[in-house]
Amino acid sequence: MARIEFLGAPMDSLSMSESVAHIEDKLLNGEFMQHVVVNVAKLVHMQTDSVLADSVKACDMINIDGMGVVLGARFCGHKVTERVAGVDLFHQLMAMSAKRDFPVFLLGAKEDVVAKTAEKVQALYPQLTLAGFHHGYFFNEEGHDEAAVVQMIKDSGAKLLFVAITSPKKENFINKWQDKLGVDFVMGVGGTFDVVAGKVKRAPVWMQNNGLEWLYRIIQEPGRMWKRYLVTNSKFAALLIKERFFTKK
Helix (H), strand (E), coil (C) string for 45-113: HHCCCHHHHHHHHCCCEEEECCHHHHHHHHHCCCCCCCCCCHHHHHHHHHHHHHHHCCCEEEEECCHHH
State pLDDT tens for residues 209-247.
777 887 787 787 777 777 777 889 899 999 999 999 888
Paired with 134 in beta bridges are 107
The mean pLDDT value for 184-212 works out to 89
For the four alpha carbons of 74, 8, 177 and 2, in that order, the dihedral sign comes to positive
Rounded-to-integer distance, Cα 85 and Cα 123, Å: 22
State pLDDT tens for residues 145-188.
889 999 999 999 999 999 999 888 898 899 899 999 999 999 99
Domain regions of the chain by residue span: 3-196
Please give the C-alpha separations between residue 18 and each of 3, 24, 76, in angstroms, as whole numbers.
13, 10, 23
The rounded mean pLDDT for the chain is 91
Specify the CATH number for 3-196; select among 3.30.2030, 3.40.50, 3.30.2410, 3.30.390.
Answer: 3.40.50
Helix (H), strand (E), coil (C) string for 206-225: HHHHCCCHHHHHHHHCHHHH
Give the model's confidence band at 66: pLDDT under 50 very low, under 70 low, under 90 confident, else very high.
confident
pTM, entire model: 0.90
For the four alpha carbons of 210, 47, 90 and 25, in that order, the dihedral sign comes to positive
